[in-house]
Structure 1
């Protein structure tokens, strides 16, 4: 499974990119509406990758930020939302704004997104409200109680590493919560990132 790519941005297409990595061109789905955030053709680019394997396809979906990849994974758990629709949704809204809309049942904002009708917006709020706590910007503006106590850059880095290993965002946060409970608040706060990740992987077994 491909978790990330670093290489030369070889070509921008309407719905995808070609990334040259050591002479091999990888086609990565990336909506045109979000391509203004990318460097120019011929320059180096780094993308977080979600690999989606189907019977007739092996597709790569690219993201500039790990929180975008996390939100993409969550969106794909909702009935009626597939990978391509999830990409178009995220091209029109940041993960923080998406999380805030879900936390506040903001159906008006959600239904302005491409492909999202009222029923889909209601499902998003119902199914994801307790799963969007990985977006710190959204939580600070809504419900601090949903954050993981002791959360800092180490926690975000650990979540990103677990995502790159293929674990869903919800399971990654559950593992970190289990590590905190076992280590205690002080032990958790003092734990280096390497140990935090090791303990989290043990909790996921």
Structure 2
């Protein structure tokens, strides 16, 4: 099991990071909440990881916080929730927000996540209510900046056609419909915003914090 990687961030994009460690380049699937925490390319990065092996593929998933990785491991134990859907859930809600949804029985916020229908949301509420107790004692960020949702990333391309298209493509890849992505971005877009900020604020607008 590969549980942690420390190396140089070679490439990053919404949903994936390439980290070089000991001469090897690891392609790591990441939720958007982790993408917002990544440093500049060329800098050192530490990711808590989960290595998944299937008959047709081997995948490595990475998370900025150990809590997110541990929550991911609990999510994929839920009936009908695979790694891809678990990453999608943790892209729309960070660990703190997800735990709060479960504790508050907030079905409405869970249903807004792409790929999560009412039945899946109900199953999450039932099965995760007992399981989140396993996360007790682990660090849960309490401020918006700690989760990455309140940070204004200043190192991506400024807002414009390219930034808007990149943000829309990222939301569509997450599972939102093109019209939903375009509408969400239009509501938050302001001059000087980066593509990362557009994605972050659009997600916050779609799913209440």
1:91: how far off? 1.4
Tell me which of the two structures has the higher relative contact order, counting C-alpha pairs closer than 8 angstroms and 6 or more residues apart.
Answer: 2
1:72-123, Cα deviation, whole Å (9 max, x unpaired): 0111011221101111110111212211211221101111222111111100
Moved over 6 A (4+): none
Q: Which residue of 2 aligns with 1:46?
A: 46
Q: How many residues align?
A: 139
Let me know the Cα RMSD of the aligned residues: 1.9
Residue equivalent to 1:15: 15
| Deviations 1:151-203 (CA, angstroms, capped at 9, x unpaired) | xxxxxxxxxxxxxxxxxxxxxxxxxxxxxxxxxxxxxxxxxxxxxxxxxxxxx
CA deviation after TM superposition for structure 1 residue 14, in Å: 4.1
Gaps of 5+ in 2: 143-209
SS state at 1:55 partner: coil
What is the TM-score normalised by the length of structure 1?
0.63
Unaligned runs of 5+ in 1: 141-205
Report the Cα distance in structure 2 between the residues aligned to 1:31 and 1:73, rounded to whole angstroms: 14
Give 1:15 deviation, angstroms.
2.6
1:7-156 equivalence runs, <5 A: 7-32=7-32, 34-133=34-133, 134-135=135-136
Based on CA coordinates, which of the two structures has the bigger radius of gyration?
Answer: 1
Say if 1:31 and 1:70 are closer, same or farther in 2 by CA, change over 3 A.
Answer: closer
TM-score (normalised: structure 2): 0.62
CA deviations 1:32-75 (Å, max 9, x no partner) are: 56412110100000000001011121110001111101110111
Q: Is the 8 A contact 2:5 2:47 kept in 1?
A: yes
